[in-house]
Each structure stands twice: as C-alpha cells, then as structure tokens.
C-alpha cells in the first residue's frame, strides 16, 4: 500500500488561492500548434482544454506568495506572530540558492523565530506539504504552519507543445495548518518510485545538463510538438497508465485503513492533470464524477501541487466556512510519486480565490 502515517488533532483552518489575472482562451493559442483546428477542438472537449491563467513575464513564486500573505495580514485572517513555520512546495525556485521560502519570509516581514523550508515536489506537493506540516505541529513551540504550494511552470513549457501548454497554469495556494480540539484522526499514505523519475522532466538547466545555446534549440518531436531541452516533457501514455493502475488501489486501501466507505467521502479532491484522467479515475473508483471535481484544469490550468487546494477554494468557497466535509486528497505524478490523505475538513476561517 505504501508508507502510512496517522496524525491527531490537526486541521486546515484556511486556504487562500492566488491566481494570475492574465487569462488565455485555448482558441487564441491554437495557431501555435502543428495540428488542424478540427483536431484541436476534439482534444479540447476530451482533455478539458478551455482557458488557463499564466503569470506575466517577470513574475515569480515569491511575488504570488507575498501578495497572498499581505492579503491575509491586511484582512486580519492571520497574525505574523502565530506563524512558526513556512513550508514552500515548488518546482519553480527563484535561484539554486538561497531557498525561496527564506526570500518569501524576508519580503513578507515575518519573524525570525520560525522555520523556513523548501520542498521540491510537484503533483503530490499538497499531500507532502500537509504531511510535513502535521509532523511539525507535534512540536510544542509550533503554533501554526503556513503551507505554500506555488508553481509558475508556464515559463518552462513550450507554447508550441499542444500536449502540455494548453493545460498548464500558474498559481500559489496558502494553507494555514494548526492544531484542532476535535479528536479526529488523519490517515495518510505515500509511495515513490524513482525508477520512473524521468517520465516527467525538464532535461536541461541543472548541474547535470547546464543551459547552453544548444539546449535552448527548439526541435519537433514525432507528434508535431516543438520543445527544447529546457522545456518540460512527459511521456503521456506512461503517466496515464501509472495513474490508472497505482492510484485506485491506494485509495481503496487507505479508505479501508481509515474505516471509511467510498460513499462516506463527500469530496475527492485530486490533482488535476486533465479532465479525461480525472473522469477515468472516478469511474474506476466507482465515485460519482461530481464528487471528484475536474474543473480546475479547464478554468485555470494545471498548476502542479496547487491544483488540490485550488479545487477546494473554487468548489467549496464560503460553504466551507459553515460546513464540515469528509475529504480525500490525492496527488500523483512527478517523481514518480503517488500519495493520499483522508481527513475531516472542519469549518474553515477563510477559503477563497484572489487575483494577482
């Protein structure tokens, strides 16, 4: 099943999603792809291509994150002195060093008596980040943890890649994690298989293959997509098969461990690579599709680890302030990593979307 974790007396007290104001409809970009308009429109319907939000040139992860922190502070939704740890989960670091979490801490003027941590994780980043936050809250001096899932991978996806570019979005999600007086048990599981690490990758740009004029050269693949070695590339068929074979049994076993039936879960908030994959997962698990929202990628794009908290903000909104829900979170992809959490989403203090 995977490596199992249990946590007690922890909760998510708020989620703020920060999205770029720049919205681009799919039809405006069809001319970039080496594909007929008719085939492109068929793909739009099947995959959920619709529109996506991407940052303006020069915007970085810290800009989105600090904008969100300032919003929370200005609206008295958090207090600086209550934040004991800042966890940034991203694959869009601003530098090799220093850590981007420290940059965010400095820009936001947060206290020095706190822990800053960068985690390099993508599609399962919300799950991995929550697990780390829950572990930190076992320490007496940790008051609240600010978990930030943020990526601007549109800057690393070729705009002539019809497989990835229409689905890619940028976002930052700020989640406040704290102790709870409700005696609820949270169940989590994580799996990783580095033998599939290169299934999704950006080949050049690190120490192994530094950027050169040659790595930036655009080349056409067998499907008519144009990319350079500095662009994100994935083996789509392998990713689809991985998700369909590994995720359902993990979810079924986790529900059994948590003592829950599939029907007792109000929402399955899963990572959203595309609409087609989510619908197939729902069908395989025997879950009604309305319980597993797939509307983030078609409205905002796939922002890696931010898709799950974005789905909570978009689909629950203010209802999460007055209602509690039994939820299952699951992320799967880069690594290869597949992980999930079953927990009660208690009444939150805030749950909303703002635009940068």
Phi, psi of 174 (to 5 degrees): -110, 120
Q: Is the pLDDT of residue 36 over 80?
A: no
| CATH number among 1.10.1200.10, 1.10.3720.10, 3.40.47.10, 3.20.20.10, domain 1-356 | 3.40.47.10
Percentage, residues of the chain above pLDDT 70:
99
pLDDT of residue 152: 98
**pLDDT tens, 317-350?**
999 999 999 999 999 999 999 999 999 999 999 9
**Burial (Cβ within 10 Å: 0-12, 13-18, ≥19) of residue 312:** buried
Phi, psi of 114 (to 5 degrees): -155, 165
Phi, psi of 163 (to 5 degrees): -75, -40
Q: Would you say 205 and 230 are in contact if contact means Cβ atoms under 8 Å apart?
A: yes
Tokens of 2: 């995977």
Q: Would you say 13 and 176 are in contact if contact means Cβ atoms under 8 Å apart?
A: yes
Q: Using pLDDT thresholds of 50, 70 and 90, give the confidence band for residue 310.
A: very high
Q: Is the pLDDT of residue 135 over 80?
A: yes
Q: Would you say 162 and 40 are in contact if contact means Cβ atoms under 8 Å apart?
A: yes
What is the rounded CA–CA span in Å between residue 27 and residue 39? Answer: 12
Q: Is the pLDDT of residue 284 over 80?
A: yes
Beta strands at 10-19 and 200-201: parallel, antiparallel or unpaired: unpaired
Q: Is the pLDDT of residue 137 over 90?
A: yes
Q: Is the pLDDT of residue 48 over 90?
A: no
Phi, psi of 16 (to 5 degrees): -120, 120
pLDDT of residue 185: 96
Beta strands at 51-53 and 23-25: parallel, antiparallel or unpaired: antiparallel
Q: Is the pLDDT of residue 129 over 80?
A: yes
**pTM score, two decimals?**
0.96
What is the rounded CA–CA span in Å between residue 170 and residue 22? Answer: 10
Q: Is the pLDDT of residue 40 over 80?
A: no
pLDDT of residue 1: 74
pLDDT of residue 162: 87
Q: Is the pLDDT of residue 241 over 90?
A: yes
Q: Would you say 88 and 104 are in contact if contact means Cβ atoms under 8 Å apart?
A: yes
Helix axes 275-285, 236-258, angle to 10 degrees: 40
pLDDT of residue 198: 97
pLDDT of residue 47: 73
**pLDDT tens, 101-117?**
999 999 999 999 999 99
């Amino acid at each position: 099943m995977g490596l199992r974790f249990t946590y007690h007396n922890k909760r998510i007290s708020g989620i703020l999603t920060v999205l770029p104001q720049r919205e681009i409809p799919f039809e405006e970009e069809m001319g970039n792809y080496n594909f007929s308009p008719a085939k492109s429109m068929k793909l739009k319907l099947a995959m959920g291509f619709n529109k996506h939000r991407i940052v303006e040139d020069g915007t970085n992860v810290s800009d989105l994150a600090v904008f969100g922190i300032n919003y929370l502070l200005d609206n008295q939704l958090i207090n600086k002195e209550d934040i004991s740890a800042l966890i940034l989960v991203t694959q869009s670091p601003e530098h090799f060093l220093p850590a981007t979490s420290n940059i965010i801490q400095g820009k936001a003027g947060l206290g020095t008596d706190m822990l800053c941590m960068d985690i390099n994780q993508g599609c399962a980043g919300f799950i991995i980040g929550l697990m780390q936050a829950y572990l930190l809250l076992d320490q007496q001096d940790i008051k609240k943890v600010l978990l930030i899932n943020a990526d601007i991978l549109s800057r690393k996806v070729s705009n002539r890649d019809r497989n990835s570019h229409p689905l890619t979005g940028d976002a930052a999600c700020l989640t406040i994690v704290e102790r709870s007086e409700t005696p609820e048990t949270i169940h989590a599981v994580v799996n990783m298989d580095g033998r599939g690490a290169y299934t999704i990758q950006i080949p050049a740009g690190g120490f192994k293959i530094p950027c050169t004029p040659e790595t930036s050269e655009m080349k056409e693949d067998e499907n008519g997509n144009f990319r350079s070695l500095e662009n994100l590339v994935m083996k789509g068929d392998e990713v689809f098969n991985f998700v369909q074979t590994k995720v359902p049994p993990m979810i079924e076993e986790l529900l059994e461990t948590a003592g829950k039936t599939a029907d007792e879960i109000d929402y399955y908030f899963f990572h959203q690579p595309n609409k087609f994959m989510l619908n197939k997962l729902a069908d395989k698990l025997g879950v009604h599709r309305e319980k597993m929202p797939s509307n983030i990628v078609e409205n905002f794009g796939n922002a890696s680890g931010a898709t799950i908290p974005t789905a909570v903000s978009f689909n629950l909104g203010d209802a999460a302030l007055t209602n509690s829900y039994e939820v299952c979170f699951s992320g799967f992809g880069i690594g290869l990593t597949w992980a999930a959490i079953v927990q009660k989403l208690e009444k939150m203090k805030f749950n909303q979307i703002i635009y940068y």
